[in-house]
Amino acid sequence: MSVLARLTLSVLPLLIASCVNLGTPATRQEQARRLSHDLQQLSPAVSVAEADQLATAAIETAADLARDFKPLRYPWMNNGLVNTGLRKRGLCYQWRDDLFPHLHRLNSKTLDLHLTSARRATLLEHNGIVVTAKGQRFEDGIVLDPWRHCGRLAWARIATDHYAWQPLPWELTPMVLRPLLMPDLYPATTRQP
């Protein structure tokens, strides 16, 4: 048996065993309830209905993306598969770019969405979405990270997360999101993601 065949046979069980468990609908509903609670804690002005809606959309859309991306348990494994061409999508910015439109379309009046990155322009760059109460400082927000647990949405207060999140400068806004965030400069001429 060739070395490649032995390596494949030894790694295959690890890859199969490392598939992501997205939990039951009841589990995701409980996650959405906790995220909604955390969003409501941003400010007394945050609408309970909007927090509930955004939380449910974030949790369920992340799970839907995981069904599409078919990630393995460890995000770095997905990055390796994408970067070697064995998978088409699943990098952190792709999770963010696919989740953001779903949240943006909710047109929340009491919550703001911000694109964010940590360790920008390095090999360890990471991307996410920050939610703040309307007009609140970025630093007081909650980061949403669908990549970290491969579709099981992770979230944390920026102040307590281990990533040093920074607002993504407007000039680095991904082209696919510009019609949403800069409609005067980039009118939507094609179907939005």
- The predicted-structure confidence for 102-139, as pLDDT tens digits, reads as follows 999 999 999 999 999 999 999 999 999 999 999 999 99
CB atoms under 10 Å from CB of 173, counted, come to 16
* Mean confidence (pLDDT) of the chain: 90
- For residue 183, with 0-12 CB atoms within 10 Å meaning exposed, 13-18 middle and 19 or more buried, which class applies? exposed
Residue whose tokens read 């991306």:
69
Choose among 64, 54, 59: nearest CA to 106: 54
pLDDT at position 177: 95
Going from N- to C-terminal start, the domains of the chain cover 22-181
pLDDT at 141 > cutoff 50: yes
* Token couple for 21: 């468990």
Axis-axis angle for helices 92-104, 48-69 (nearest 10) = 140
Residue 17 has pLDDT above 50, yes or no: no
